[in-house]
């Protein structure tokens, strides 16, 4: 049996300006599908993009190269990633005056 | 006699470091996976916006190999991974992980664990006062009462090292969580927060912090509770055994639809603008009962 988890890393967190999800330990996992929903928004956050970052220590972050759209309210976006090492997170930079309530879900599998 | 008893565990050396009661309910080594430990979502109706504030920082536990910038992967006590519960990087932020059981019979139960507790290594300093607290909470209900034993180790408060064990019996008020459109069917009480804790008599204990934030040493913790009398029976951390005769759990009338509830909850609490981490290598839940 392959270990797996669907981890809700951000549950309605308000993202504005420079925002990032909490670091998540993924050393055991070989693949991830990242889902991003918006549970509410102000301004036009969908004009921005979010992107995946990796880290060797959970503190210093490097762009992994994958992007995912910031969805409109009640819509959802996703991206698949592999070979990500030990820590994963998603970050974004939103336009001034824009924010949204992020539901960020990592579906991880061994 | 002690040696003879221990020999019964030699067929499974990993169990020999525990002292379980007569029946093992769950033996969870997190190198084998998440083992049913999950996140807590605060109760709500209609929208997550109605979750009580103290629950909003909570998210999923992780399987961690304890990787640090200076030493690489630390690993666990028995294997590569431990269950990691991380606070947010702000003072008194609390996160938790729990496993949800029900009990078959009111009987003595016991929780044992090997754990480590550290702050995030964002500074190249001792950082020992950055890790706030960790706790073990049971959530129990029989036909008449909801009972919640709370034990926490308060490492630091407002930047000062406190290093003592505490318990909490003060009941937090239950709130409706439906906002203006409350259906009145769902309530919530945030009882994991920093308020209302009392010192356990003789409960001062310095754990093995070990000089830098990227080293962690595994500690043994045991808590016993009797579901018949709904009272504490034991508390031990490493070489210290504490008197639990004056400890009280939270007590409240039974809530709807919680009969035979038996949740095992672990929390971690930050004291500074650094994340605090609780690592659980393994948790053993045992009980002492005979079926009628």
Q: Give the CATH number for residue A82.
A: 2.60.120.1310
State whether B51 and A7 contact (CB < 8 Å).
Answer: no
Are residues A97 and A42 in contact, defined by beta-carbon separation less than 8 angstroms? yes
Q: How many domains does chain A have?
A: 1
pLDDT tens per residue across span B129-158: 889 999 999 999 998 999 999 999 999 999
Instruction: Give the best residue of B67, B76, B82, B83 to mutate against chain A (max A CB count within 10 A).
Output: B67
The predicted model gives B190-198 an average pLDDT of 87
B173: left (phi over 0), alpha (psi -120 to 50) or beta: beta
Instruction: Please tell me the distance from the alpha carbon of residue A89 to that of residue B215, in angstroms, as a whole number.
Output: 24
State whether B64 and A60 contact (CB < 8 Å).
Answer: no
Mean of per-residue pLDDT scores for chain B: 92
- State residue B117's pLDDT score: 95
Is it the case that residue B3 has pLDDT exceeding 70?
Answer: no
The bridge status of strand A99-109 relative to strand A4-16 is antiparallel
The answer to ipTM > 0.90 is yes
State whether A60 and B56 contact (CB < 8 Å).
Answer: no
Cβ-nearest to B86 among A22, A40, A101: A22
Q: How far does A3 lie from chain B, in Å, by closest CA?
A: 6
Q: Which residues, 6+ apart, have CB-to-CB distance to B5 below 8 Å?
A: none
B274 HSE (CA, 13 A, CB side): 24
Residue A104 lies in domain: 4-109
The predicted model gives A25-38 an average pLDDT of 98
Q: Which residues, 6+ apart, have CB-to-CB distance to B173 below 8 Å?
A: B189
**Cα radius of gyration (chain A):** 13
pLDDT tens per residue across span B273-286: 999 999 999 999 99
pLDDT tens per residue across span B200-252: 999 999 999 888 888 889 999 999 999 999 999 999 999 999 999 999 999 99
Contacts 24+ apart (CB under 8 A), B71-78: B71/B214, B71/B215, B73/A27, B73/A86, B74/B214, B74/B215, B74/B216, B76/B30, B76/B31, B76/B218, B76/B279, B76/B281, B77/B114, B77/B218, B77/B281, B77/B282, B78/B14, B78/B29, B78/B31, B78/B114, B78/B281, B78/B282
The residues with which B167 forms a beta bridge, in sequence order, are: B151, B198
């Amino acid at each position: 049996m392959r270990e797996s988890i669907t981890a809700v890393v951000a549950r309605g967190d308000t993202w504005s300006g420079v925002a990032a999800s909490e670091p998540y330990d993924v050393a055991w996992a070989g693949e991830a599908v990242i889902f991003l929903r918006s549970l509410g928004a102000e301004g036009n956050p969908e004009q921005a993009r979010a992107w995946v970052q990796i880290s060797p220590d959970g503190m210093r972050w490097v762009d992994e190269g994958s992007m995912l759209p910031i969805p409109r309210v009640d819509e959802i976006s996703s991206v698949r990633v592999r070979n990500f090492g030990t820590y994963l997170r998603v970050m974004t930079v939103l336009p001034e005056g824009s924010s949204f309530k992020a539901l960020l879900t990592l579906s991880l599998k061994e | 006699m002690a040696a003879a008893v221990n020999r019964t565990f030699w067929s499974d050396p990993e169990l020999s470091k525990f002292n379980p009661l007569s029946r093992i309910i769950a033996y969870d080594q997190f190198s084998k996976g998440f083992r049913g430990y999950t996140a807590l979502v605060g109760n709500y109706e209609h929208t997550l916006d109605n979750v009580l504030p103290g629950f909003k920082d909570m998210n999923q536990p992780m399987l961690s190999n304890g990787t640090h910038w200076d030493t690489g992967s630390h690993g666990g006590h028995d294997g590569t991974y431990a269950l990691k519960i991380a606070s947010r990087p702000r003072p008194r932020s609390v996160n938790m992980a729990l496993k949800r059981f029900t009990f078959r019979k009111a009987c003595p139960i016991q929780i044992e664990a090997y754990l480590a507790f550290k702050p995030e290594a964002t500074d190249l300093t001792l950082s020992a006062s950055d890790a706030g607290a960790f706790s073990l909470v049971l959530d129990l209900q029989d036909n008449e009462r909801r009972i919640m034993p709370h034990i926490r180790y308060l490492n630091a408060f407002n930047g000062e090292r406190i290093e003592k064990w505490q318990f909490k019996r003060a009941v937090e008020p239950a709130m409706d969580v439906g906002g203006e459109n409350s259906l009145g069917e769902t309530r919530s009480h945030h009882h994991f927060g920093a308020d209302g804790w009392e010192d356990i008599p003789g409960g001062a204990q310095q754990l093995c912090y070990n000089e830098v934030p990227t080293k962690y040493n595994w500690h043994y913790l045991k808590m016993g509770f009797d579901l018949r009398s709904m009272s504490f029976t034991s508390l031990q951390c490493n070489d210290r055994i504490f008197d639990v005769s004056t400890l009280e759990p939270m007590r409240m009338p039974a809530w709807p639809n919680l009969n035979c509830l038996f949740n095992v909850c672990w929390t971690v609490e930050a004291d500074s603008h650094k994340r605090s981490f609780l690592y659980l290598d393994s948790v053993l839940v045992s009980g002492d009962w005979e079926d009628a």
